[in-house]
Each structure stands twice: as C-alpha cells, then as structure tokens.
Amino acid sequence: MSLTHCSLPVLGFAAFSGTGKTTLLEKLIPALVEKGIRIAMVKHAHHDFDVDKPGKDSYRLRKAGATQMLISARYRHALMTETPDRECTLNQLLGQLDQNNADLVLVEGFKHNAFPKIELHRAALDKPWLHPEDPNIVAVACDDSSSSSSASSTELPSTSPPRLDINDIASLVGFIQRWMESHNAQTATCDSLSPTLLSVDDGRAKILDAIAVSEHTETCDLNELPHRVLAADIIAPVNVPSSTNSAMDGYAIRSDDIEREGYRLVSDVFAGHHYAETLTAGECVRIMTGAPVPEGADTVIMREQASDDNGTVSFDTTKGAIRAGQNVRQAGEDLRRGATVFQAGKRIGAAELGMMASFGFDRAEVFKPIKVALFSTGDEVQAPGTAAKSHCIYDANRYTLRAMLTKLGCEILDFGIIEDTEAALHATLSNATEQADMVISSGGVSVGDADYIKTVLSQLGDINFWRVNMRPGRPLAFGKLGDVPFFGLPGNPVAVMVTFLQFVEPAIRKMQGDAHWQPETLSAITQERVRSRRGRTEYTRGIYSISANGQLEVRSTGSQGSGILRSMSEANCLIEVSPDVDNAEVGDRVTIIPLASRL
Ligand code: AMP
Ligand code: MG
C-alpha cells in the first residue's frame, strides 16, 4: 500500500552481499515464468552505473544534453533518464513500469525501503539475520534449516517469519504464489473498505483536478501589482538597452582608429544627452556610463587610462590593451523589441515590477485576487483579546491562515469563530459561499468529531471527508459548495499549516492562474534519524543550513506534536519522508521543502 504508484504485488530480496541474490533470481525467474507469472524487475545499482556505452549514438546524444533517451529496436527498447539532482524513489521507478504487462515485480536492492521482502541467508557467511530489524520481511529463505545448527549468531528466533529452503526453488515458487494471492485479496478489500484513505500526491491531484483557473482579470496600476499573477504576456516595446551606450565613464573612439598617439576631445556626452555629429578619425568624446555612444564611435577606454593635455587625450596602454568594441553595451543586447519578457501565469515580484517600469509600463493585466472566506469552528475556541475562559484555547488557526493567504495575495473575508450549532454553521457556510471564490474552515473534520460542521457540509454540498496518509494532517475535507471549492482543515495548528501548504496553496495558485504552483524542494543530508512510518508521508519541522564543506544539511526542530506551533516558527523547512521509506537514518538524503518564501 505504501508503493502508491504500483498496483502489482512488489516483492524484494534482502541479503548481505555474497549471499547470491542474482544467482538465485536467475533460477527463480524461469520457474515463476513457467507458472505463467510475468515478471518485471527493478534492480538498484552502484552510483555511476551506466547501461550505455561510450561511442554509441545513444550515449553521444545523452552527452549532447538529452536528459531522456528512449532507444528502440525490433526486440526491445530502453529509457535512460538523467537524474543529476536526486535519485528516483522506488515508488517513482515502479510508476514507469508497464504494469499491464506484468503480474509481479521483483526488486533487488532498496533494502532501506519499506515493502515486502524475502530475506536470503546462508549460514556459511555467518551474518546476522535481517528480519528482527525489518518488519517488512515476509519469509526467510536459508540453508541452515537443520535445528542442530551450532552457529548461535545465525540461529533463527522463534517469532520469525516462515522459513524456506533457499535451494528448493519449487517451494519458493509455491510460497510466492500464495503470497501473491493473499496480497491481491488484501488490496481488493483495502480499496473497498477505505475509499477515503489517500496519499498526499493523489489528494493533491484530485484537488487540482477540481479547481479551475479564474476567469476574472483586471488592469492594475504598478503599485497594486506585487504578488499578483499576470493574465497576459508582457512584450518588450523597445530594445533594452534602447541605444548603444557606454558601460564605463571614459572616452569613446572609433575602433578603426585605435593606433594613435593623441585624440582631439570634441565633446562631453552625459547620460540623457547625445553627441549629434559623427565621430571621425582623430577625435574622441568624454562619455559617462549609460550615455549613448556617438555615431562612428564603438569603443570606450576607461577614464583611469586616460590623460587629457589641453584637449588632447592619450591612453596608457600599459594599464590594459585597447580592444575594438570594448566597454560598449549594444542596443537590444538584453532584450529585443517584440520579445516576450514575461508569460501570463508569472507572479510579479520586485524584479518583475522594476522591469515593467523600465519599459515605461504603468499598468498590467492581472488576475483578480481570489476572495477566500475563512472561519474557525469548535466550542473550545475563543478569540484573542477576550478574557480567557476555563477549558478554552485561543484561536490560532485563523491567524496563521490569514497570514499565509495574505502572502498569496488573496482577499480575506473573515467570518470569525462560528458557534458549533447547526443553524450558525448553516448560515455561515451559505453566506460565505455567496461572497467568496473559496471557503476554508479549521477544526471538526476528524473521524469521530462531535462537531456539527460535518453534518452541515454534507447537507450543503458535495464534500469528501478524507483520511490522508500523512502526519501531521490526516483528516481533510474537500469538495464543492455549489461551484465554490471548500477546504475543511484539521484543528491542530501545525496540521493546519502543513495541509494548507500541501493542498490549499497549490489550489489557490492554480485558481490565480499561477503557472508555478509546485512547491520548491531541495535535497539535504539529515543529521538525525527522522522518524517515519511506512505508508505515510511524514512532515518533520526542520532547520537546514550549509555545512563547512558546502553540503546542505538538515536537523529537526525537536518536539513534533501537531499542536506545537513553536516548531513551525523555529523551522525553516519541512523534512518530507515519503511513504515508501521507513525512517531516514543519519547521513541519508532527504527531501526538504523550504518555508522562507511561503509563511
Ligand atoms: P479538531 O480537529 O476539531 O478535533 O481539533 C483538533 C485540536 O485542534 C483540538 O485540540 C482543538 O482544540 C485544536 N483546535 C481546533 N481549532 C483550533 C484553532 N482555531 N486554534 C487553535 N487550536 C485549535
Ligand atoms: Mg473540534
């Protein structure tokens, strides 16, 4: 179930090197094929492994820059994908298999990943057993079946998984067939019993599918543009720079006139002015940075090399030879007139704003801000600024949400804390749906929650109550109230922030027309063991930094309870441990999601 990208049974072989994994598989595979089982294999190889050979066309095309190389011939084809930044996860690799043309996936390697495996063990190697440390081992195939075995270090504990003879291929095949049957039966019941248990990726995909890009655009003044998303391309109306100009304070001459003792100074050219004549041989102008280079001139010598003797200028070439065309910026060098500067879907920040201003634009067409209605639920929740009541907590969620929505440029309709009665929730939701493009609540969506919000939501719209395979943030409600998307976030303050980042922010970005809704991720080496459970995506609050040798490192902020908001404040990233890994160990590479630009 953790390997969400694969509907086939996946079975690994775990062993110390030297046990003969490949040799065994070479015998096992034909025996399985004989039973009509079509096998797909995934094998992990060492760091610099390459299936290609130097000199082959495919190799040359890859080296030329093709990051995906699909080579095909009559009897087989192969896809080679360059992954310089991060190695593919087992789950991603499984997703690339043609699952319609296999019945069973066998895996060699990936020993730290959480998925069913058969442990292979040979007594002669005198290695410890793996299954006491790995709960994913479903059987042990070994050659020390005799109970009189004297090697105490390899003695099998009594609570161990079923034991098979590593040399008896027929019994291994029988075990695998039975295991496949029970695996397939289990998957079928799991799917029908828990239709609402979802992975983070699947949940986000469902949400994004249901969200449409806003159709409402408007033209705004420059000052209103920061954080907004462009609704139309920005086209350069002029060349940048608009004229060929000097990159230095110095003297402009002709490049066909470099070899000369002294030049007659004919004019000064300041920025914002120009020299109306054509510069002829023997002449120079004194020119300032950014000023247009006169007709005829094309080379600028910096002031520090020049000496001016009563209007005759000479240059000291011992301080640097003069090269034709030096220190001159050509018109249109940065951008040609008519070129697309920004595409629709680009979010406007300081640099974009400056560039638009530099073209002389004082306005642009952008998507209208998304109106988001917001409220908190729960009888125990009270507003900050009111006297503390016993057994109550102050409303934190509305404020974290308001801050994150503001950062995204949303317009906020704050409905406050809603009393936990059917009438109050009904009125608020109807009201919010009429006015807003999106409605967000927090609290009351967990399974077994006594709050009325679930009842009212079910009456008013088409809402799914999901259990997402993640921590923090398992309960999540999503659906539509009429046409308006609704998010029912959990109550726990950290869970609210994490689910907002993973689900609500991408949805808002899509609605806003933002082409780049994917959150930025980086890869870092963990300095601590990061706890995780297989089948679940874990978000640990982390602090990343760069080590003395330039490596990105990360550690956790400490206590990780989903009510501990301080952990979010101390964190500068979330450490994401994917569902197909048990724990991340010290020194492992983990995915981190930087938070600086998002909170
Ligand atoms: P719930 O999902 O409603 O069961 O809430 C889970 C936990 O989050 C409970 O301990 C609530 O008291 C807490 N909680 C709910 N809403 C808020 C809020 N607006 N601010 C802070 N904590 C909250
Ligand atoms: Mg509650």
pLDDT of residue 198: 87
Are 466 and 475 in contact by the 8 Å Cβ rule? The answer is: yes
Mutate to test the pocket of ligand 1, among 389, 391, 492 (most ligand atoms within 8 A of CB): 492
pLDDT at 2: 55
| Residue nearest ligand 1's atom 6 by CA | 491
Cα 418 to averaged position of ligand 1 atoms, centre (Å):
13
How many angstroms does the Cα of residue 490 sit away from the middle of ligand 2? 9
Report the pLDDT value the prediction gives residue 104, as an integer from 0 to 100: 95
| DSSP string for residues in 495-524 | HHHHHIIIIIHHHHHHHTT-S--SPP-EEE
Q: Is the dihedral of CA 417, 420, 421, 425 positive or negative?
A: positive
The pLDDT of residue 252: 97
Per-residue model confidence (pLDDT) at position 187: 60
Non-local CB neighbours of 548 within 8 Å, separated by 6+ positions? none
Residues 251, 249: Cα–Cα separation, whole Å: 7
Cβ(397) – ligand 1 distance below 6 Å: yes
Dihedral (Cα; 482, 483, 489, 491), 10-degree rounding? -40
Kindly report, residue by residue over 98-123, the tens digit of the pLDDT: 887 889 999 998 887 878 999 999 99
Pocket of ligand 1 contains residue 580 by CB under 6 Å: no
CA of 540 relative to ligand 2 center, distance in Å: 24
241 Cβ inside 6 Å of ligand 1: no
Span 515-562, pLDDT tens digits:
888 888 999 999 999 988 877 899 999 999 999 999 999 999 988 876
Q: Which ligand is nearest to the CA of 417?
A: 1
Query: Which of 422, 423, 415, 417 shows the shortest CA–CA distance to 439?
Result: 415
Q: Establish whether residue 9 lines the binding site of ligand 1, counting it when its CB lies within 6 angstroms of any ligand atom.
A: no
Question: Distance between CA atoms of 166 and 172, rounded to whole angstroms?
Answer: 8
The Å distance, Cα 376 to ligand 2 centre, comes to 10
| pLDDT value, residue 186 | 65
Alpha helices in 381-523 (DSSP H): 397-407, 422-435, 453-460, 493-499, 505-511
Taking the chain (599 residues) in consecutive chunks of 10 residues, what is each chunk's mean pLDDT? 74 91 94 93 88 92 93 91 86 86 91 87 90 86 62 52 92 93 64 57 93 96 94 94 94 95 96 93 96 97 96 93 95 92 95 93 96 95 94 96 95 95 94 97 80 86 88 91 95 95 96 88 95 87 95 92 86 93 90 90
What confidence score (pLDDT) does residue 532 get?
86
Proximal ligand: closest to the CA of 398: 1
Per-residue confidence (pLDDT) for residue 150, from 0 to 100: 39
pLDDT at 112: 79
Core vs surface per residue 132-167: b (16+ CB within 10 A) or e: eeeebbbbbbbbbeeeeeeeeebebeeeebeebebe
Atom of ligand 1 nearest to the CA of 398: 19
**How much is the pLDDT for 190?**
39
Q: Is 586 exposed, middle or buried (0-12, 13-18, 19+ CB in 10 A)?
A: exposed
Give me 77's structure tokens.
Answer: 């084809």
